[in-house]
Chain A
């Protein structure tokens, strides 16, 4: 049981929620992976896992879902009390299960595949299912019943076939975390490779630094090698040795350091003869190219040659060296010259030259082989040509922390050095990744025609055989990236997909960001491709400078309950510009984070969207009668329709209001309430114009952090007009005595012509004070309000007394707050 689930325990859900479970969430599932060319039954435990409708795999079509079915609640777990505690108000039955049968194609890519379960209520959070190339076996220990370490020594080690994958679990026992030992037989000289998928399974809670330790011992128990996390995999270990003798070898999985709390950590241990390089060189080539690469980090005697056929598509490519190599080495694909460094190239004079006449795009490949190594490349550039220069090092799993300079060949002038990158230079959204920020990137343009030299070195002066890097020079492209904006950086999985009820709407914010160096201007629109039938995107046109765009997805009442991965791209509304722009969707799903930094995340290029069977409420919003202006207020009438007698609380919120417009917070409609006047106020920074407002509604239940149990609906877009104010009122300080009447006076300034007649009134008076009657605005600039204080009026000073001016606009009155005044209420003076 992952401890993260503990937070679900405190969820309180009223009886009605049994019908409307809200967003489903996966707590744990088993097995965490299986081998390709097989069929496997996977059991998902979690919340609201009811009425399954399928599984959405977002990155592969090689895993077929044969069947999904609801299963009985999980059996009692003797070893974990958390799992047995009542939750969601409904006893242990709150734990729900779905069992899915998956058929993994023989050519399914090895590695991690992202999936979301689809139920009638929507999509679960994203989890990873791991596909291996070696036959899978289960560890003999049952973590739910385990009291002692049953396979923690050489004598008790579990025998496995050499060349298999074990799905196992490390459990904290009272005396510390157990070890799992496995025994394999190998021949002298045979390659013994081991790799663990552990923290990457993301089962240990997102805020966790658990690290597994892999150890290989010989038959006598002597440690031959051990490893914890490696730069390539960041949080998981791998190692390889050549077997010194024929005989038995023990491979063990344990904790790299004593875990702080009781843990149950699943892992997948791959042990076999596969080659598991820490790097490949060169780390990229041309589309569809058959590229010979050198494998780095293998024991001596093992062939370091391999050939890879690169895909036709440019970008990142995952290369699994051998059948059985569990995790791919990342490579890059780019059309253009693919230059390999020619050592020595430590100085400008010995720089490796890009073939004369080559223009961007081109790629440079090298290795900083020893500490202090510098690599130089020369290339020609034309004045004014703007290039994206990006070094891929950490992004390829290399331990390098590179920096580069570009200088005119033969010049001694100090060039600017690019080191760590910010999000803009990398073309990623805020907080999407941690590691790649160590890679340098910059938009560079040549000051004049000529030869230039790019010099690469490590910022810490380090180097080594696997310090592989690749620098890509590409032209700057104009365009906007899009992503689903996280509501809260601390709760990135709470709304990382969209669920829209049939006959309902869902509102989300789409964030945009220009590509590195891009020059974007003008008007853009969002286009969704691959939406399920009956679903449409309603999105306003927006300015290129708008970074957050509220959009609506609308599902027809007869839309099928379904799920899809949707392409969501921003295109210029100008059809001509649109031909060369638009660069897609780029969402990061953090799965392991430390502090606020993602450590292991999945990048997806499509938005997951599902149509849910029904949603228990809908909302409509009525456009405000009067325009909003600076320091003024208006209201939007929200009507809630409750379906099937739904009586739960509904929270209404304004999503992404225009700048300077503030919406009310925490507007809750309880019981049978169905209407609310939602107050909007204009701040000093509000700009006149026409805007669209988007209101969302959600149930009160559910978890803020994970989004579990949440149900969402949205109103259609509501037009909001923001105008300049008509009046400004300034008040003199006033005091009034309990039980007496008094006058509050002010000066009115007419800022622009207004239609019809107007009256002024004081609102937000303290308790016990009343205005005798509103004052009609006459010719004079003086305002005088008669106030009456009751005997028990609240004594004190009040600053927030507001002057509301209502303009009679031929039946649809316009309201404006024209100013605020101070009022002091004194106790009654004693009779003389």
Chain B
């Protein structure tokens, strides 16, 4: 199917196309209530074109209201304004289409008093007064403090009106209130001029003071949520006149009212490269791709998806890649939507190397390359995946992967009070490995961890609670860790204020913290032993704002009835329940990231409203299958590896070069530190040895990580396992890494000790064959003609009988291959 972009802004009816009116023209919001004389409603008119793209016709559209009706329309601001109580209908025409919007008008006779929480506080946020760099800082700014992003309105009201009587608010001469004079820059203000004296926001603040700067009466409605409209915008990129589109933001209140807060919300986007959004909520396309725009108001953040299609480029979905399973269906659907073509399938050699590195952290041997290329069975890839997923190397790799974020490490090993003894780390590792080896449903594994108790030496899951570095983790830190590890959510912000980019409030934070309030530890009979147990009488967490004791409450869920039991029992059950979508999504996303170098949500442990998945359907499908398979991680990995998406080539095609998040091609990923050193060992035949580990231990098998003890691992960003953050594994390249591969001991010693080079230099093989062999060993593929020619040229004077010189030559070849970019990356 081919989409041809149509000339924008040209009414379709003029072209004679018959477009069903209901689908093509939409008005946001689709119904309006104006419930006070000051109520206004900004409206947006949007038209959907046949190629799926949308255009905004707000200014072109004609809005008609009955004369002398309940409301009128101000075309200059695209705003509906109340006139008198009653109901009416706005009829909106664009081209030959028409949409009717019901409008309800109430309370035009009443004068609603300005409210501190509803009218004044939002202006502080919009103007930036209560941000961390201004008065929202913990110490305030220039002697005046507001709660960060307004988490404590009562405190803000006190500080504004009571802390310095008669200065910040001047009831007699409202315009001379310091608050207004500072905000307008009349008196020196470090923050500069934030409000114009003729602005609507200034007027609200002044009128509130004029009215006596009163606190809100009991029962003042509170915001329950916000919506950004339209829910979806699809724009076609245009280099000359970048398309733009307005958004409207509505807030729903506890009394059922809806308010247009477009001019009070703050706007942001998660992809500046694709689009921009200004202070009025106007979105401008910059380049093709998918992104989200977000509005922030009160304690809420809400988003709307924006797709920018490639500029006037013909897009035809080539059916050269067949969907293999549900993964491909979701990925391809998204690609079609974004008009991004997928790359071609990877060839056997590329696939073999990729899947071996991904599933066993080892390169393919020459025998494996040979037998795989000679195998003509149509399901040979699936069979290989099956074999690798069942291998002990897979277990090693996944134990390492989870060991990193579960912080399986040794620290200050002789004292369990302030560290983790080696034995405890070893037991923890053994336990984790046995769970993964047995393919135990992973939700059960996590439940065991959350319920962990007993001796760190004899009850391994208890070590989930023994990550002590100097001091045992405090309950709120344990809560943060659990949310980040198992829900992929960072709630840290909400410790001190409501989360600015997510839904979490301080109440949520301390409710979740309360699950861990009773976690206690006690020294055992050995200095290396610590005993984890729960004090079931400690089940609340203190709210720092009002000192309230907050009982355990699931994050975004209910309060369990504890009945004297360990709250962690309830937490484990809730967390790992198939109904807890976020848990399954997080596991699925982490697994996905292992194979694509990035998650569908990236970073994998920072999912939030303002960081949505790049492909919601894909994540939902993966999570769904994970739940259906009873949290069988191996089954999920099998699905991923068998998908056509995973098996795409890393070579891009025109149209998907810049795609880094929709999986239109295989990602080129640097090998993780442990894998890289193991691969060097496997290729040269001279594996590295690690301090304190028996010979033959691969880096991925080091039970407590060992990053700090090994120069190579440290330099190449192996996880120190000090926090639960996935970011502890550092993949960014550094100069030191390059220099170490070139000059350092790792490559050098591996080459010096390499039995492969000894064998080659002592064999009857021609130089060309030897070079071919080295290519196969190091890069898992045949050397190209050009590559062979270049090396053979260098070898032409080589006397193969001179074993020393021959070895040195092959050493140089292998050195060059080990230092090639191709070697250090999975692609």
Contacts and interface: CB of A to CB of B under 8 A. Distances in A.
A430 to B, nearest CB: 15
Contacts of A399: 525
B242 interface: no
Contacts, number: 72
A461 B533 contact: yes
Contacts of B692: 258-261
A234 B525 contact: yes
A176 B525 contact: no
B423 A256 contact: yes
A231 interface: yes
A209 B423 contact: yes
Give the most central of A174, A235, A260: most B CB within 10 Å. A260
B417 to A, nearest CB: 9
Contacts of B421: 209
Given A176-B695, A177-B694, A394 B422 contact: no
Interface string B378-415: 00000000000000000000000000000000000111
B803 interface: no
A218 interface: no
A207 B696 contact: no
Interface stretch (A122-130, A554-562, A594-602, A693-701): A594-602
Interface in A225-270: 229, 231, 234-235, 256-261
Interface string B679-715: 0000000000001111111000001000000000000
Contact of B525 (A231, A257, A595): A231
Contacts of A19: none
Contacts of A177: 694
A779 interface: no
* Interface residues of A, dominant DSSP: loop
Interface in A195-240: 207, 209, 211, 229, 231, 234-235
Interface in B280-319: none
Interface of A: 174-177, 207, 209, 211, 229, 231, 234-235, 256-261, 394, 399, 401, 434-435, 438, 459-462, 594-595, 597, 599
5 contacts: A258-B692, A401-B531, A434-B526, A594-B526, A594-B528
Contact of B522 (A231, A258, A394, A460): A460
User: When A and B form their complex, which 9 residue pairs have the shortest distance between CB atoms, in order from nearest?
Assistant: A176-B694, A595-B414, A597-B527, A260-B692, A257-B426, A594-B414, A594-B527, A460-B533, A174-B695
Contact of B422 (A207, A257, A460): A257
A258 B430 CA distance: 12
A594 B423 CA distance: 13
Nearest to A598: B527
Nearest to A398: B525
A461 B525 CA distance: 16
Contacts of A257: 422-423, 426-427
Contacts of A394: 525
Nearest to B423: A257
B826 to A, nearest CB: 29
B423 A434 contact: no
Contact of B526 (A176, A235, A401, A460): A235
Contact of A211 (B413, B423, B525): B423
B697 to A, nearest CB: 8
Contacts of B414: 207, 209, 594-595, 597
B118 to A, nearest CB: 50
A3 B524 CA distance: 28
A470 to B, nearest CB: 17
A459 B423 contact: no
A209 B703 CA distance: 17
Contacts of A594: 414-415, 526-528
Contact of A209 (B522, B528, B691): B528
Contacts of A597: 414-415, 527
A261 B415 CA distance: 19
A534 to B, nearest CB: 43
Given A209-B414, A257-B426, A459-B522, A595 B527 contact: yes
Contacts of B413: 209
Contacts of B525: 231, 234, 394, 399, 434-435, 438
Contacts of B694: 174-177, 258
A257 B415 CA distance: 17
Give the most central of B414, B522, B691, B697: most A CB within 10 Å. B414
A175 B695 contact: yes
Contacts of B426: 257-258
A235 B703 CA distance: 22
B529 to A, nearest CB: 9
B131 to A, nearest CB: 47
A435 B529 CA distance: 11
A413 to B, nearest CB: 19
Contacts of B524: 401, 438
A599 B695 contact: no
A401 B522 contact: yes
Interface in B415-431: 415, 421-423, 426-427
A176 B531 contact: no
B241 to A, nearest CB: 67
A519 B703 CA distance: 54
Given A174-B694, A256-B423, A595-B527, 15 more contacts: A174-B695, A175-B694, A177-B694, A235-B526, A257-B423, A258-B697, A259-B692, A401-B522, A401-B524, A401-B531, A435-B525, A459-B522, A594-B414, A595-B414, A597-B527
Nearest to A458: B533
A256 B695 CA distance: 17
A77 B704 CA distance: 33
Interface in B509-545: 522-528, 531, 533
A256 B425 CA distance: 12
Given A460-B533, A461-B533, A595 B415 contact: yes
Contacts of A438: 523-525
A678 to B, nearest CB: 39
A258 B693 contact: yes
A175 B414 CA distance: 25
A772 to B, nearest CB: 60
Contacts of B523: 438
Contacts of A401: 522, 524, 531
A654 B414 CA distance: 34
Contacts of A174: 694-695
Contacts of A211: 423
B140 to A, nearest CB: 45
A2 to B, nearest CB: 18
Contacts of A595: 414-415, 527
A247 to B, nearest CB: 29
A399 B697 CA distance: 35
Contacts of B415: 594-595, 597
A231 B458 CA distance: 11
B463 to A, nearest CB: 14
Nearest to B410: A260
Given A211-B423, A595-B414, A234 B526 contact: yes
A231 B524 CA distance: 10
A399 to B, nearest CB: 8
A177 B696 CA distance: 12
Nearest to A600: B526
Contacts of B522: 401, 459-460
Contacts of A260: 422, 691-692
A104 B422 CA distance: 39
A174 B524 CA distance: 34
A811 B457 CA distance: 73
Nearest to B525: A435
Contacts of A207: 414
A234 B526 CA distance: 7
Contacts of A259: 692
Contacts of A435: 525-526
A137 B421 CA distance: 35
Interface in B71-123: none
A438 B694 CA distance: 36
A506 B522 CA distance: 43
